[in-house]
């Protein structure tokens, strides 16, 4: 492809033009489209809307496992034997203590995630109370909740409490949905996003790449999320949790999640959804390997401290990567102290799983999941 091809891609995205399915598929599947000029085109769009800033998000796995749903990619599903440590909803003080830690660690947004199909009326009120309290204590911290399926009324209760954003991922294409989950449908998910938008909430919705979908389905999802107006798009790459029903393609499979393919996917999302916050989410360390920092050219957002049950890079390593690549973290805090202390990359307790063989080491320990857990009362 000549320089005009890449220039045209960037120019169209900069003027909010909609690329065609065929054009986007080419970016994923045609070897004549070269990675570096493609990243450069995506970067021109990212820079126009976000400059060199990076938003870091910290997830709080506020209720883990015991989910009656059967999402084949999820360690919390009833069908998974990944061996996570389940727990009921964390007490409010624990969630608030973790919000404070996230705020002080420079998080732009704090995401509270609750396993399960969806909250009851009572649970929705509890979530609303938590949102109110986090906003009262840390007014500049953006708050996001992911709590499963919601109807119009529940979305409104959360919006009235001051919630900024609701996360609900589409995960995969409409036609593939029945293969990865039988207990709810793609349309259930779309309806939750619509309920959130009706209540005035900003929406975060993304996908998991590596569940058997061909490039055209990745493109279909990018265009669907554009049409749905997702303000934030987490692009996850399926992690190999031993015991999960679904595993990513083998490294030597034709559809393997190579670093190059993952970067192409991120470019597709930046060019299809130019103004969205595109997040290089789960699997960043594992699948992008030595190309990890390149994700910052199409994406403007990352998770810090790993994922729901999956370990990720230690936070100082992520900060260092952002700084070394010449990007800036959006934060209320001065992070210089943290940036100066960088752990040795060989310490297995601080570095993400970087090898294909290390599958079981990818699961977070209970200490990582509950860093602010109140001490158990001493038996008398
Ligand atoms: S509904 Fe959510 S927590 Fe439950 S199995 Fe599906 S993704 Fe996992």
3-state secondary structure of 72: coil
Q: What is the largest CA-CA distance in the chain?
A: 76
Mean pLDDT, the chain, as a whole number?
A: 90
- Measured in Å, residue 92 CA sits from the centre of ligand 1 at 22
pLDDT in tens, 58-96: 889 999 999 999 999 999 999 998 888 899 999 999 999
**pLDDT at position 333, please?**
66
Q: Which of ligand 1's atoms lies nearest the C-alpha of 68?
A: 4
Which conformational region is residue 80 in: left (phi greater than 0), alpha (psi within -120 to 50 degrees), or beta? beta
Asked whether the predicted pLDDT for residue 344 surpasses 60, the reply is no
DSSP state of 31: T
What pLDDT score does 225 carry?
97
The number of the ligand 1 atom at minimal distance from the alpha carbon of 77 is 5
Predicted pLDDT of residue 340: 62
| C-alpha dihedral, 89 to 93 to 97 to 103, nearest 10° | 80
The pLDDT confidence band at residue 339, using thresholds 50, 70 and 90, is low
Among the listed residues 91, 76, 103, 165, the one whose alpha carbon sits nearest the alpha carbon of residue 130 = 91
Does the C-beta of 167 come closer than 6 Å to ligand 1?
no
Spatial distance between the Cα atoms of 18 and 271, rounded to a whole number of angstroms: 9
What residue ranges in the chain does DSSP mark as E strands?
53-63, 109-114, 142-146, 165-167, 202-204, 207-209, 232-237, 277-280, 301-304, 328-329
Compute the distance from residue 74 Cα to the ligand 1 centre, in Å: 6
Range 224-243 average pLDDT: 95
Helix, strand, coil percentages, rounded to 5, for the chain: 40, 15, 45
For ligand 1, is residue 171 a contact (CB within 6 Å)? no
What's the pLDDT tens digit per position in 199-230? Answer: 999 999 999 999 999 999 999 999 999 999 99
DSSP letter (8 states) at residue 303? E
Q: Using an 8 Å Cβ cutoff, are 160 and 135 in contact?
A: no
Using CA atoms, how far apart are residues 321 and 300, in angstroms rounded to an integer? 13
Q: For residue 184, which atom of ligand 1 is closest to its CA?
A: 1
> What pLDDT digit, counting tens, does each position of 171-206 carry?
999 999 999 999 999 999 999 999 999 999 999 999
- Ligand 1 pocket, 69 CB below 6 A? yes
Residue among 64, 65, 68, 71 to mutate when testing ligand 1 (max atoms within 8 A of CB) = 71
Q: If pLDDT is split at 50, 70 and 90, which confidence band does 317 have?
A: confident
* Angstrom distances, CA of residue 135 to CA of 8, 54, 143, 150: 43, 22, 7, 21
pLDDT score of 358 more than 60: no
pLDDT digits (tens, 9 = 90+) for 140-176: 898 999 999 999 999 999 999 999 999 999 999 999 9
pLDDT of 342 higher than 70: no
Confidence of residue 138 (pLDDT cuts 50, 70, 90): very high
Ligand 1: centre distance to CA 188 (Å): 13
Q: Average pLDDT, stretch 273-281?
A: 97
Ligand 1 mutation target, pool 84, 89, 112, 148, most atoms within 8 A of CB: 148
Query: Can you list the domains of the chain with their CATH numbers?
Result: 21-341 (3.20.20.70)
Using most ligand atoms within 8 A of CB, pick from 68, 77, 119 the residue to mutate for ligand 1: 77
């Amino acid at each position: 492809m000549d320089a005009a091809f890449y220039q045209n891609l960037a120019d169209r995205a900069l003027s909010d033009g909609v690329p065609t399915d065929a054009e986007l598929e080419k970016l994923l599947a045609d070897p004549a489209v070269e990675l570096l000029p493609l990243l450069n085109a995506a970067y021109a769009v990212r820079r126009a809307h976000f400059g060199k800033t990076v938003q870091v998000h910290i997830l709080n796995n506020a209720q883990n496992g015991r989910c009656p749903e059967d999402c084949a990619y999820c360690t919390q599903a009833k069908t998974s034997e990944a061996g996570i440590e389940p727990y009921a909803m964390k007490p409010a003080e624990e969630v608030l203590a973790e919000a404070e830690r996230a705020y002080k660690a420079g998080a732009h947004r704090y995401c509270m995630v609750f396993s399960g199909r969806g909250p009851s009326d009572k649970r929705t009120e509890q979530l609303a109370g938590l949102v109110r309290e986090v906003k009262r204590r840390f007014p500049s911290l953006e708050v996001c909740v992911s709590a499963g399926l919601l109807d119009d009324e529940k979305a409104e209760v959360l919006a009235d409490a001051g919630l900024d954003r609701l996360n609900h991922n589409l995960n995969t294409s409409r036609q593939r949905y029945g293969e990865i989950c039988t207990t709810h449908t793609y349309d259930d998910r779309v309806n939750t996003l619509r309920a959130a938008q009706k209540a005035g909430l900003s929406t975060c919705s993304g996908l998991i790449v590596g569940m058997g979908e061909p490039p055209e389905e990745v493109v279909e999802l990018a265009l669907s999320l554009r049409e749905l107006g997702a303000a934030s798009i987490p692009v996850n790459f399926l992690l190999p949790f031993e015991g999960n029903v679904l595993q990513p393609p083998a490294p030597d499979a034709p559809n393997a999640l190579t670093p190059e393919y993952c970067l192409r996917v991120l470019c597709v999302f930046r060019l299809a959804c130019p103004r969205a916050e595109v997040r290089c989410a789960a699997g960043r360390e594992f699948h992008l390997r030595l190309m990890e920092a390149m994700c910052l050219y199409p994406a403007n957002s990352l998770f810090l401290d790993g994922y729901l049950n999956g370990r990720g890079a230690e936070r100082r390593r992520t900060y260092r990567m952002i700084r070394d690549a010449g990007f800036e973290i959006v934060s209320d805090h001065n992070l210089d102290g943290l940036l100066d202390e960088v752990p040795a990359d060989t310490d297995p307790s601080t570095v993400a799983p970087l090898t294909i063989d290390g599958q079981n080491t990818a699961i977070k320990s209970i200490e990582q999941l509950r860093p602010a857990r109140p001490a158990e009362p001493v038996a008398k």
